Amino acid sequence: MYEFKRPTILVSKCLGFEACRYNGQMAKDDFVNNLKNYVEFITVCPEVEIGLETPRECIRIVKEKDNIKLIQPKTGKDYTEVMFEFSNEFLNSIEEVDGFILKSRSPSCGTKDVKMYTGIEKGSSSSKGKGIFGGVVIEKFTNAAIEDEGRLRDFNIREHFLTKIFILRDFRYVKNLKSIEEIINFHKRNKLLFSMYNRRQFKNLNSVLENKKQKKVSEILREYEEYLKLILARNARYTSKVSTLKECYEYFSKYLSQEEKKFTVETIEKYKNGHIPYNVPLYLLKSYAVRFNDKNIISQSLFNPYPEELVEMRDSGKALI
């Protein structure tokens, strides 16, 4: 059984930690609550940190040409400068973080769907953009796993987020050890997963390790991390997942009966056609690794990229492909 290390996640404090929203309430989130036993949380409410009370009059992003301001319409107060100052100072103080879960649509924490108004008057038109704190997070932590709690209700987004934070945490551990043996072990454990995510960048990782005798460990780590971040930049395409499932099936097919072969192929096809989630054929293939006691395969992170207790099949209703 692989012992997962606890990723460090920065989370909006209102997501189950403190009743600090503008309306004095807390936005409880099941996913964040489930993570509490598996990650280390850093909590923050940027609006409270810059001196706003709870409850408080709402604030909004006002966009004038290419400039944005954080305004409290009822009072007319401008919190733009103080929010930028806090965001930069606070985020510069964080040394190690693997991911972020931020409050969706918040004018401070939001990362995608924040309303950007044309003015402070009622009825002002709006577009979509980023909150100030959320925007600084994206700017400073380009390679971290960054999501809002709304998007994490989607199974595929949630699966990628979990995979990324636990892989990044493992690599942080390897970096601190500065051991070529540990780098190689990390690479071996993740080779099927990395190949599925991005085959081209996986080949680049192989090249880094093939030339390891000619480089210092620090140089190998730097190059390896560069390609690793490219691999984890986005979720694996579902066509890549299908290909990897088929490769694993071919590996075990010589041990299977005709009935088992037929059932496995049909299961992969059901996933390919969007009728069942990815974890179903994956678990079937994992059962073969257990049955045939194939330790090389069963140890692969492809089958266990994050703690199984965090697997949750419910989502926002989108196709599970």
* Residue 320 scores a pLDDT above 50: no
* Residue 317 scores a pLDDT above 50: no
**Cα 91 to chain center, whole Å?**
18
* DSSP 8-state class, residue 235: P
User: For residue 1, what pLDDT is reported?
Assistant: 67
* pLDDT tens readout for residues 222-281: 999 999 999 999 999 999 999 999 999 999 999 999 999 999 999 999 999 999 989 999
Going by C-alpha positions, the residue among 140, 227, 143, 153 that lies closest to residue 183 is 227
Spans of all domains in the chain: 8-153, 178-231, 238-307
Angstrom distances, CA of residue 145 to CA of 138, 158, 177, 222? 10, 10, 23, 19
What are the backbone dihedrals phi and psi of residue 129, each rounded to the nearest 5 degrees, phi first? -165, -155
User: For residue 302, what pLDDT is reported?
Assistant: 97
Mean pLDDT of the chain: 94
The helix (run of H) or strand (run of E) holding residue 63 is: strand 60-64
User: For residue 201, what pLDDT is reported?
Assistant: 97
* Residue 316 scores a pLDDT above 70: no
Higher pLDDT, 288 or 119: 288
Mean pLDDT of 149-160: 94
* Residue 318 scores a pLDDT above 60: no
Mean pLDDT of 279-287: 95
* Residue 319 scores a pLDDT above 60: no
User: For residue 120, what pLDDT is reported?
Assistant: 78
What are the backbone dihedrals phi and psi of residue 128, each rounded to the nearest 5 degrees, phi first? -115, 145
The helix (run of H) or strand (run of E) holding residue 113 is: none
Burial class (CB in 10 A: 0-12, 13-18, 19+), 82: middle
pTM attached to this predicted model = 0.93
User: For residue 312, what pLDDT is reported?
Assistant: 75
User: For residue 123, what pLDDT is reported?
Assistant: 65
Q: Which residues pair with 146 in a beta bridge?
A: 100
d(CA 64, CA 79): 15
User: For residue 66, what pLDDT is reported?
Assistant: 80
Burial class (CB in 10 A: 0-12, 13-18, 19+), 40: middle
d(CA 147, CA 31): 12
How do the residues of the chain divide into helix, strand and coil, expressed in percent and rounded to 5?
A: 50, 10, 40
Where does residue 124 fall: left (phi above 0), alpha (psi -120 to 50 degrees), or beta otherwise?
beta
User: For residue 213, what pLDDT is reported?
Assistant: 85
| DSSP 3-state of 212 | helix
Report the 10 Å Cβ neighbour count for 305.
20
Percentage of the chain surpassing pLDDT 70? 96
User: For residue 80, what pLDDT is reported?
Assistant: 97
User: For residue 211, what pLDDT is reported?
Assistant: 82
